[in-house]
Structure 1
Amino acid sequence: MASEIEFKYANYEGTPPSASTTSFTLTPKTGVDIWRKPPALHVFDAPMLYKSFPISKFQRARVTVSAKWQTLYDQGGMVFIMPQANGTKKWIKTGIEFYKGQPFVSTVSADNWADWSLAETAKEKPEVLTLELERNPEEGTLWIYVVRGDDRLPIREVTWALYDPEGTAECWVGVYVGKPTASAEGVEDLVVSFKDFQLELRD
């Protein structure tokens, strides 16, 4: 069961919470991110808390993220990472990112290089976001949703994320925080809260 898989940290010091924990916080240092851009920029030093298991088992994950977002590119949300045999990683991150003075719903996916898309947050409580990742069982693709009340708004389909022809690939699923830009003097440290983390695996 998903609740029995231990949490692991990446790029973060401390003892991970128990496997059954569903709410936690992460505080990043300045200058950390997950980002990839030609011709040679590869950044993968943002703090993460995740569970690792065969990608063929993934069905759904969900969490609510919130913080006092104040500085350009402050961010936090969910990660879906696919370690490769050659030591590289393909990855997806989706959550809130502070840009042009306001929080946006931000999604980035990276195979060889990364792309980036932004969508508006809710007018009420824009600093809070519930996200869901889910496998489309018919097509074998990964869908990303924003959850608002009883509604799920689809914001991205990643067609290659779950492709595993040999049935041997692993994935990391969890949460992350990033802070590429230094805060102005007097601005509080970024503390990102996550609650109601859910992970559902297939039989």
Structure 2
Amino acid sequence: MTETLKITAKPDTDIWRKPPTSTPSTVRRHPPPLPPPSTNPSSQRKWLKTGVELYNGSPRLSTVACDRWADWSVTPLPAAGLDPTNGLVTATVRLEASVDHHGPSLWVYGVDAAGAKESLREVCWIFALGKEGGDDAGEWEVEVAAMAARPNKEATDELEVQFSGIQVEWR
């Protein structure tokens, strides 16, 4: 039996760090409890969020990487990712470490139903953490969480998001 995880997001919520503002989000971890992501813009916590985001009225694959400030990219869902009969969105994202002649990086991919990978983002700073001393030194704390956000400040209703079939594979 596949467990369904429901998360409700209030208006004006997101995990985002853009000078000079940052807003809280609705995050539900499974299994809870874990410490929430920092909403303090002066915090040096670094993060990556990737998944489905409603942008310009359409669900898309989205990736945000945040070292000091966040940056963002979106791309259309694979064709089989949206079922028009019920509005359900199916998405698979894969994160893979990679090394080339410039050094290590983390690649974020969208994966279609046939298993083909589409590059969404290369995050180059992730593997530099802890190598230069200072605030980044020490052990990493890696967290995988389901989240929902409703950045629209004018919205009056909450957004309910349901997750099922979540699989996290560590290698």
What TM-score does the superposition give when structure 1 sets the normalisation length?
Answer: 0.60
Deviation, structure 1 residue 88: 3.4
Q: Contact 2:63–2:73 (CA<8 Å) still a contact in 1?
A: yes
Residue 180 (1) aligns with residue 151 (2): yes
| Structure 1 residue identity aligned to 2:23 | V
Count of aligned pairs: 148
The match for 2:17 among 21, 27, 36 is 36
Q: What corresponds to 2:75 in structure 1?
A: 119
Name the residue aligned to 1:24: 5
C-alpha distance in 2 between matches for 1:108 and 1:129? 16
Contact 2:53 2:60 (8 Å CA) reproduced:
yes
Of residues 156, 178, 181, the one that matches 2:121 is 156
- Corresponding letter in the other structure for 2:142: C
Partner of 2:109: 145
Tell me if structure 2 keeps the 8 A contact 1:22–1:198. Answer: no
Higher strand fraction: Structure 1 or Structure 2? 1
User: What's the offset of the Cα at 1:41?
Assistant: 0.8
Q: Is the 8 A contact 1:34 1:43 kept in 2?
A: yes
**Residues 90-147 of structure 1 deviation map (CA, whole Å, 9 limit, x = unaligned):** 1111122222221222111111211111111133443332212222367542211111
Paired AA for residue 111 in structure 2: V
Map Cα deviations across residues 138-159 of structure 1 (whole Å, 9 max, x no partner): 7542211111122122211111
| Unaligned segments of structure 2, at least 5 residues | 83-88, 132-136
What are structure 1's unaligned runs of at least 5 residues? Answer: 1-20, 53-80
| 1:1-203 mapped onto 2 (5 Å cutoff) | 23-38=4-19, 40-49=20-29, 87-126=43-82, 127-136=89-98, 139-149=103-113, 150-163=115-128, 164-165=130-131, 166=137, 168-181=139-152, 189-202=158-171
AA of the residue aligned to 2:122 = E
Taking the aligned partners of 1:148 and 1:32, their CA distance within structure 2 comes to 29
Show the counterpart of 2:85. none
**Which whole-Å deviations, capped at 9, do the CAs of 1:144-201 have from their partners, x for residues lacking one?**
111112212221111112333355222222221101126767x7x5222223333334
TM-score (norm 2): 0.69
Identity across the alignment (%): 33
> What is the match of residue 134 of structure 2?
none
Partner secondary structure for residue 169 of structure 1: coil
Distance in 1 separating the partners of 2:28 and 2:11:
15
Deviating runs (4+, > 6 A) in structure 1? Answer: none
What's 2:86 paired with?
none
What root-mean-square deviation, in Å, do the aligned CA atoms of Structure 1 and Structure 2 show?
3.2
